[in-house]
Amino acid sequence: MHNRARRIRHNRDLPLVAPPHAPHGRSQHTQGQNVHRAFHAANCTDPVPHVKPRVTLSAPPHVHCRVVSRGQPMNKVASLVLFALLLAGCSAPIPTGYTPREGDLIFQALPRESELVDAIENCTDSPYSHVGILVKKDNAWFVLEAIGPVRETPLGQYIHRGRRQAIAVYRLKDPVPIPAMIAHARKDLGKPYDIRYEFDDNKIYCSELVFRAYKAATGQHLGQIQKLGDLKWQQHEAFIKATEDGPVPTDREMITPHAMSESPLLEKVYSDAMPPPAQD
């Protein structure tokens, strides 16, 4: 795929920042529009279509948002993290058809604020670009996830962040290892996000967090490990090369959210009408 500036989408998924190499005048004008849209979303006034009736969660405490000044460059992960922070004061209700259980894996389609999201969904031909582990803390539901640093995000905020506020929930058929899995995942709290999708101990990505925690608890794989070369990476060749600062590592092994969802150790217990995978 030829390297090109991201198209500006006239919908809810408008990027927060203009492409770093956009013409100067257009970049500042676009950023002004996008920051305004981000604050509009953060104030929870933007109606979301296709949302089923739900049971309301209690609202989270007020969160102060800090916006990066105009013209300041932001990388692919930073733009997505900023979007998550801007929505930190917003909360969506739990679907009426879903009864939460600790250890559930919550899959979603992230906002298309980064080409990384497009690459994950295109390469796997799946709307699942993110996954986290449902945990209970202080009698409230949180999702233990790797987005930016590994963190525990209130479930309502997690749902609100996704495209269409849609989630798909998969549950382990054997619940025995869940406490140990959560304990192992919490050891990674604070670790930075791994945009290169490598298996290492310094950085971590979303499905790797779940995969490593389950393996540490059981010794088994939760989902099939794949090589990048076996996925549909060609459409995002320029992005991958820029991320690697080198050639496409086709031999790199990874676990994707889609591959994890297909594990025979899991069963789907709830799903909204998921948005289609990102398409260019």
Alpha carbon dihedral 222, 145, 156, 158, in 10-degree steps, equals -90
210: CB partners within 8 A, 6+ apart? 105, 131, 132, 133, 185, 222, 260
Would you state the pLDDT for residue 24? 39
Would you state the pLDDT for residue 88? 54
pLDDT above 80: residue 171? yes
Compare 19 and 275 and report the one with higher pLDDT.
275
- Mean per-residue pLDDT for 191-219? 97
pLDDT above 90: residue 49? no
Would you state the pLDDT for residue 91? 82
Compute CA distances 216 → 174, 184, 188, 197, whole Å.
Answer: 15, 7, 12, 19
How confident is the model over 128-160, as pLDDT tens digits?
999 999 999 999 999 999 998 999 999 999 999
Yes or no: say if 32 and 70 are a contact pair by the CB < 8 Å rule: yes
Strand-pairing partners, residue 170, are 105, 268
Q: Which has the minimum average pLDDT: 39-48, 115-124, 234-243?
A: 39-48
CATH topology classification for 90-271: endopeptidase fold (from Nostoc punctiforme) (3.90.1720)
pLDDT above 50: residue 31? no
How many other C-beta atoms lie within 10 A of the C-beta of residue 77? 18
Would you state the pLDDT for residue 39? 35
Residue 45's pLDDT band, with cuts at 50, 70 and 90, is very low
This prediction's pTM: 0.71
pLDDT above 50: residue 12? no
